[in-house]
Amino acid sequence: MKRFITIVLALVMVLSLAACGGSAPAANSAPAANNAPAQTFKIKLGTTGNENHQSTIAANFFKEKVEELTNGGITVEVYPNSSLGSEREMAEGVKLGTLEMTIVTSDGTLPAWVPETQVLSIPYLFATKAQAYEVLDNTLQPYLAPLFEKEGFKHLAFCELGFRHFTNNVREITCADDMKGMSIRVQEAPIWFALIDSLGGTATPVAFNELYTALQQGMVDGQENPIPSIASSRFNEVQKYMCLDGHTYAAESILINLAFYNKLPAEYQAAVDEAAAYASTMQRQTVDANEQQQLADLKAAGMIVCEDPDIASFQAATADLPNRPEVQALVDPSLVAMVRDAVAAIG
């Protein structure tokens, strides 16, 4: 009887072990069924504009696409309204790795590290947005990308601010002579100072998130920005006149810290690249589609808009700007020639 009981107990133990062993594969296969990413990464993406600003629009398109492509392996938190600092502070953060990503004006603060971006500040390079897109994506992106990498950035893509126009509270601007004597807020870069000086005005750098107050208090007479920036920032509340001179086409740069990008798995790097290209395309379409309605809204709100200024007078006043010593110290004339040749090749 004892021997029989021993045999029975042994059989029970064998069956129990077999049952445990059979259940193990089912438990291990659960994560695969959920398609959960093996690695996860979080990105903080800062912009200076509000929720409706061009930079934030691009940020949200990037967030949408990269999270979709990685099945949540990369998650993006968008911080608008300069909540992570000014453009310069955020760009420095991306360079140093204390911030993963930002979207900032290409020829604003970035020339502090890549002076060549200021070629976009040379006035009247582009006549249409189509010209600007072609040159930015197929000439300047491959030219500038390695220069950004030397500084610790990965330049992913360009998106749109738009053609820049002057606004002021002094008088209507219909030609270059009307600019004389005005104090105009500009981005903090020597080439912008040269632009306003060539028009007979006084350039004053003011951080974008402080600009509304500066205009309201009369610290400066005017400023220059694309229509979407003027509308989303409600500058029409503190500016009476606008001149659609389109002196430069303003692009924005989608930047990621190079070291952070390099540590991503290859498939995630590809997703970041694809999401940036998607954000660029979708943001440009969105901003452009909104621009005419925004202009109509600004006029309806009482802003006096000169829609057909004497562009030839502006071109003549700024023709020698690329040859000024302070500009040539930043932008090689051969780079200006390269861009002009690329525009001419478009036809």
pLDDT at 341 over 60: yes
Whose CA is closest to 45, among 32, 25, 66, 59?
A: 59
Q: Is the pLDDT of residue 335 over 50?
A: yes
Closest-CA residue to 120 (of 160, 75, 179): 160
Q: What is the mean pLDDT of the chain?
A: 90
| Whole-number Å distance between alpha carbons of 52 and 41 | 26
Q: What is the pLDDT of residues 165-186, one digit of tens each?
A: 999 999 999 999 999 999 999 9
How many Å separate Cα 179 from the centre of its chain? 29
Helix, strand, or coil (residue 253): strand
Quote the CA–CA distance of 99 and 204 in Å, as a whole number: 29
What's the pTM?
0.81
**Long-range contacts, stretch 293-297, CB < 8 angstroms, 24+ apart:** 294/227, 294/228, 294/230, 294/231, 295/227, 295/231, 297/231
Q: Are 41 and 268 in contact, with CB atoms under 8 Å apart?
A: yes
Report helix, strand or coil for 220: coil
* DSSP codes, 264-302: S-HHHHHHHHHHHHHHHHHHHHHHHHHHHHHHHHHHHTT
pLDDT tens per residue, range 223-263: 999 998 899 899 999 999 999 999 999 999 999 999 999 99
Res. 34 pLDDT band, cuts 50 70 90: low
Q: What domains can be seen in the chain, in order of their start residue?
A: 39-346 (3.40.190.170)
| Mean pLDDT calculated for residue range 86-110 | 95
Helices 311-318 and 190-198 pack at an angle, to 10 degrees, of 120
3-state helix, strand, coil in the chain (%, to 5): 55, 20, 25
For residue 223, the model assigns a pLDDT of 98
